[in-house]
Structure 1
Amino acid sequence: MTLAVDLGALAADIAVEAGDLAARRRAEGVSLAATKSTLADIVTDADREVEQLIRDRLAAERPDDGFLGEESGAGEGSSGITWVVDPIDGTVNYAYGIPAYSVSIAVVEGTPEPDAWEGVAAAVYGPALGELFTAVRGEGAVFRGERLAVTSETPAGALLATGFGYDPATHDGDLATVRRVMTMARDLRRIGSAALDLSYVAAGRMDGFFERGLKPWDFAAGRILVEEAGGLVSRIDTDAPRPLLFAGGADVHARLGALLVEG
């Protein structure tokens, strides 16, 4: 097997182990460990424990690789490979008992900047439903043994997913973006996990996705999934505090881009 395939298999194995730990901790009851950017943006003890499990696995199996995690930050490596990890994407859902949360693991190579690195492999695992989405560069994206493909036609309008920032000061701008985009939409979904949103775009469950303010660990794995499923992912306003990411098949991506760049 190629290195990329090996890394993809490892990412999938770790994602499932980490997700199962998160699910067990959720069943036991979660506690708030801290807040992040605002009081609404919580972090649980489980986030930290799950990320530590992932770091420990990688330290044992890929000690020369770099690491970029939501909870524990960055660690440089010497191999040129970096693992970009969100241990529980959708923490608020997780804390409230809503089953839309996931473990997101991406393997990338190159400089540690999301618009400069190249995706190698990805795994997004939703423990509550036992759903694992995987991708390997040049090998496609897969769900339960079947190759994934983004939707190519949206005759009834595009089913779109999005998310909002936790800072109330950003809500008016996000809602204005939604108003512009709704002109091409069949309907809108607000699931609460960008990694799942992008996985669903890759699987054809959603036609497109857009959101401002995502961090690299929020979208690194999902972007690889969408691209390997034949879709496109773009980021604009990358010098702004809240860059805008949008994704979809070629037609939806182009229409989203036209509407979003207008604003």
Structure 2
Amino acid sequence: MSEGLLELARTVGLEAAAFVKASRPAGRVEVADTKSSPTDVVTQIDRASEELIRARIKSARPDDGFVGEEGADLIGTSGIDWVVDPIDGTVNFVYGIPTYAVSIAARQDGVVVVGYVVNIASGAEWGAIRGAGSWRYEGSERITLAAPAVARVDHALVATGFNYVPEVRTKQAEAMARFLPHIRDIRRTGSAALDLCGLAEGHFDAYVEQGLKEWDLAAGGLVASESGLLLSGLDGVPNERLVMVAHPSIAEEYFALVRACGF
């Protein structure tokens, strides 16, 4: 069944990515609304992309549930729920920075079993099936991903992001000031889904972020874990409070560092 779910996620994801790309005007995109703060933005294209994804999935699988960033959740009866971010990296999308993605995951009885992410601007695609690995797509070919081992935490390049709520961001900045002397450097791309796929590719060595919603983490998190990386939270389960990712070669030391710095 997982292959069928992934095939649907990819088909719908590519259609949504093409829609978003074709709909984006030249220059900056008009902001339609805000969410957690005045800098946490939504566009009409976000909403239209989610409506498209929801309609296609419900047409193919009418008994499934649906959890999206921009609309009301739908309760299903099949045991399958879809967790969707129609544009992950909306601020990048608004400004025309080419790092924003469609992210689609399928959960079975609450466990993510399939993940698909496509960079809308570049067309790069990733997929994963729980227990079967993760890969980058090259046309119809799947290039299996195996995240590289990391020799030392102090040489690690760490992907991260910051909350849009000023009070939370202030605390994150304080933790980051303690953290930075112990690693190589940080990178902040603006899309959690693409960061997690980048970890699987070896573009980064580790990851830390607070405030991720389930649609930010579901698909990219499966791509990362199926490439051999370990995901953790403050008390073991990655969640909105804290997400940490690292290769097993440094995970214990890295996770301890993140906690000690006060994230």
TM-score when normalising by structure 2: 0.91
1:98 aligns with 2:129: no
Q: Contact 2:5–2:114 at 8 Å: present in 1 too?
A: yes
Which position in structure 2 is the counterpart of 1:19? 17
The match for 2:201 is 203
- Pairing 1:54-133 to 2, within 5 Å after superposition: 54-110=53-109, 117-133=110-126
8 Å CA contact retained: 2:213, 2:240: no
Structure 1 residue 141, shift from structure 2 partner: 0.5
Equivalent pair of 1:86/1:218 in contact (CA under 8 Å): yes
User: What is the deviation of 1:91?
Assistant: 0.4
Choose from 146, 149, 153 the match for 1:152.
149
Partners of 2:70 and 2:119 lie apart in 1 by 19
Write the distance in 1 (CA, Å) between the matches of 2:117 and 2:240: 23
Give the letter aligned to residue 125 of structure 1: V
Q: Distance in 1 between matches of 2:246 and 2:8?
A: 27
Shift of 1:242: 5.3
1:120 match: secondary structure: strand
Q: How far 1:192 sits from its partner (Å)?
A: 0.3
Residue ranges of structure 2 left out of the alignment (5+ in a row):
none
**2: distance between equivalents of 1:184 and 1:154?**
14
Quick one: which amino acid aligns to residue 153 of structure 1?
V
Find the aligned partners of 2:253 and 2:124 in 1 and give their Cα distance: 30
- Structure 1 range deviating more: 179-188 or 78-87: 179-188
CA RMSD of aligned residues (A): 1.9
* In structure 1, C-alpha distance between the alignment counterparts of 2:170 and 2:148, rounded to whole Å: 30
Call closer, same or farther: CA 1:127–1:49 in 2, change over 3 Å.
same
Gap change, CA 1:204 and 1:52, over 3 Å in 2? same
| Offset, 1:238 | 9.3
Task: Return the alpha-carbon distance in structure 2 between the equivalents of residues 122 and 151 of structure 1.
Answer: 21
Question: What is the CA distance between 1:251 and its match in structure 2?
Answer: 2.7
1:93-242 mapped onto 2 (5 Å cutoff): 93-110=92-109, 117-143=110-136, 144=138, 145-155=142-152, 157-236=155-234
Alpha-carbon distance in structure 2 between the residues aligned to 1:26 and 1:71: 18
Whole-Å separation in 2 of the counterparts to 1:153 and 1:237? 23
**C-alpha contact 1:237 1:243 (8 A) present in aligned 2:** no
**Count of aligned pairs between the two proteins:** 254
CA distance in 2, matches of 1:26, 1:184: 40
Bigger shift: residues 57-66 or 229-238: 229-238
Question: CA deviation digits over 1:72-127, x for unaligned, max 9?
Answer: 131110111110000001101100111111111111112xxxxxx32211001001
Shift of the 146–256 alpha-carbon distance from structure 1 to 2, 3 Å rule, reads same
